[in-house]
Amino acid sequence: MVVRQAVNDLRIMVYAENVENVQARSAARRGRQRQYLDRAIPLLVGGVLFVLSMALSSIAMSTQPKLTPIDEQTHIDYAWEVSHGRIPRAGETMSQEVLDMWSCAGQDGTILPACSSRSPASGYPASGENYNFWQPPLYFMVVGPVARAVAAVDHSLGFVGALRWLGAGISALGLVALFHELRKWKVPAGAAGAASLLVMALPPVVSASSRVTPDSAVTLCSVAALVVLRRVLVEHRTDMWSSGFLTVLVAGVKVLNALPLLAAAVCVLALGLRSGPRNHRVRRVLSAISIPLSVAVVHFGWNWYQGRYIPVGYVNPVNGVNTQTVAGNPAAEWLSTIFSGSSMVSSYYFSDSVSAWTMSLWVSIIGPVIAGLAVLGWLMVDRTDKFMAVGICLLVGILVWPLAVQVQAWSTGHMYFPVMNARYGAPFLPIAAALGAMVATRRGVVPLYQMLAIGGCGLATMALLGLELS
């Protein structure tokens, strides 16, 4: 009897141990599956966003094969010159190869010399001059040589086509970067994906992603501001050198693309001095100061470099088209547009062959949403919440960016904009979408399914570019 009881006890112990081993193996297997899903889902969502963005850019490019009148030919020439180891100078005309590309592609609203006519530059608008020589060269240094290599391999694509596809790819990478950055802010994958989907469907973003322009990097540059805010205010990783270097890269693409970083610097100064050890507060101040200093180095440094080659008495041929000369103190001219910052969606360009009805409907729906987030978004999160920094950054941005544009125009030629072009505020569109995802995450003000519906409707509307022709 005793022996039988001992055997039964031993069996029970072995069975319990086996059960525990099975449960432990099951838990470990579930843990590995969870880790696999945690890695796979962001990659899958990022891949879907990239493919959707490239498809939408492809539709936009196919419906408007002609060059857009928003300086696209100057950007093509800049990239061409850089790919041949040269930098455009003031007063120089475009190369004959680019003039031929311009004629063969055509341009909306402009009569050009015949394709392959080898016409002189005098027969083109602005006498064929590259008046965008003053722009920083980083974007063109990246896309120019790559496009030239791609065009040499695929002759059917050509240099212009390669540049446009590279711009579409840069825009798509920006959307993927926005999604992954929001995940680092602990925003759920659904809300982060919805925010990226919304940015993808905004007309200024689609317009920039389908032509040759540094604006195609606007989303990627905007993500840099979210990175700085997260590193300095959330993770307390204060490094002025990394903030400064990131700003130099962004401003090197386009100075106005650094506007969100300048707003982030103001936010760091406003929030970073409230708490923490004294040495942390000092490092936050240094990180914030490094941003405007970096912008100034790029802007004034490049103007100084190009200014050495400006001929005496040179006048930019586009002066007076959208700008006017400042007479005396520019304060009154600057103040006239200072409250136009909440309009960031209404400025874009699509060919006349594209129906404007659905586009206008989409802008009239999403415009007030973006403006509302910019003005009231910071009130929709808790005052002690980490998301508060993004709300303040956006609010500062819409108040400051019109003035910053006016200051840049004045510093480069004593000019000002009588009417502020909303496309200069486009760098804040991804910040607004990110704040919307954060508000939905924290407060549930906008349910997630509604955010997905808004983004999906916008995506469908933009897809009509390829379907609804006038």
Q: Please, are residues 250 and 224 in contact by the beta-carbon 8 Å criterion?
A: yes
**pLDDT: which is higher, 392 or 27:** 392
Q: Please, are residues 395 and 270 in contact by the beta-carbon 8 Å criterion?
A: no
pLDDT at 9: 59
pLDDT at 277: 62
Average pLDDT of span 388-414: 84
Average pLDDT of span 375-392: 79
Average pLDDT of span 23-37: 62
- Residues facing 415 on adjacent strands: 325
Boundaries of every domain in the chain: 135-311+322-466
Helix axis angle for 158-184 and 429-442, nearest 10°, is 30
Q: What percent of the chain has pLDDT over 90?
A: 31
Exposed (0-12), middle (13-18) or buried (19+): which is 328, by Cβ within 10 Å? exposed
pLDDT at 470: 42
What tens digit of pLDDT does each residue of 355-372 get?
A: 566 777 778 878 888 888
Q: Please, are residues 398 and 342 in contact by the beta-carbon 8 Å criterion?
A: yes
What tens digit of pLDDT does each residue of 208-257 get?
A: 998 999 999 999 999 999 999 998 888 888 777 888 999 999 999 999 89
Sign of CA dihedral 171, 173, 175, 177: negative
Is pLDDT at 468 greater than 60 in this prediction? no
Average pLDDT of span 106-127: 86
User: pLDDT averaged over the chain?
Assistant: 83
Radius of gyration, CA atoms only, the chain: 26
Grouping H, G, I as helix, E, B as strand and the rest as coil, residue 384 is coil
Average pLDDT of span 3-22: 60
Rounded to whole angstroms, the Cα distance separating 316 from 402 reads: 22
pLDDT at 312: 83
Least confident of 65-79, 314-328, 342-356, 395-409: 342-356
**pLDDT: which is higher, 10 or 71:** 71
pLDDT at 464: 63
Please give the helix or strand (H or E) that residue 416 lies within, else none. Answer: strand 415-416
Q: Which residue do the tokens 């590259």 mark?
A: 130
Grouping H, G, I as helix, E, B as strand and the rest as coil, residue 51 is helix
Is pLDDT at 353 greater than 80 in this prediction? no
pLDDT at 99: 92
Is pLDDT at 469 greater than 50 in this prediction? no
> Cα dist. 74→40, 158, 225, 313 in Å?
42, 17, 28, 22
Q: Please, are residues 219 and 200 in contact by the beta-carbon 8 Å criterion?
A: no
Average pLDDT of span 445-461: 64
Is pLDDT at 30 greater than 80 in this prediction? no
> Cα dist. 330→50, 53, 299, 417 in Å?
44, 41, 20, 11
Q: Which residue do the tokens 């200072």 mark?
A: 338
pLDDT at 59: 85
Rounded to whole angstroms, the Cα distance separating 253 from 137 reads: 7
What tens digit of pLDDT does each residue of 293-346 get?
A: 999 999 999 999 998 888 888 888 877 667 777 777 777 777 777 777 778 887
pLDDT at 285: 85
CB environment 134-167: b (16+ within 10 A), e (fewer): bbbbbbbbbbbebbbebbeeeeeebbbbbbbbbb
User: What tokens were used for 17?
Assistant: 């141990």
pLDDT at 406: 84
User: What tokens were used for 260?
Assistant: 């969100």
pLDDT at 14: 57
User: What tokens were used for 270?
Assistant: 């406003």
Is pLDDT at 384 greater than 70 in this prediction? no
Rounded to whole angstroms, the Cα distance separating 383 from 306 reads: 46
Is pLDDT at 47 greater than 50 in this prediction? yes
Grouping H, G, I as helix, E, B as strand and the rest as coil, residue 469 is strand
Rounded to whole angstroms, the Cα distance separating 336 from 324 reads: 13
Average pLDDT of span 134-153: 94
Is pLDDT at 152 greater than 70 in this prediction? yes
Least confident of 10-19, 336-345, 387-396, 455-464: 10-19
Position 141 confidence tier, pLDDT thresholds 50, 70, 90: very high
Max distance between CA atoms of the chain, in angstroms, equals 115
**pLDDT: which is higher, 460 or 184:** 184
Average pLDDT of span 43-61: 88
What is the number of alpha carbons within 13 Å of residue 269 lying toward its C-beta?
Answer: 13
Least confident of 83-92, 244-253, 336-345, 374-383: 374-383
Rounded to whole angstroms, the Cα distance separating 375 from 84 reads: 46
pLDDT at 10: 58
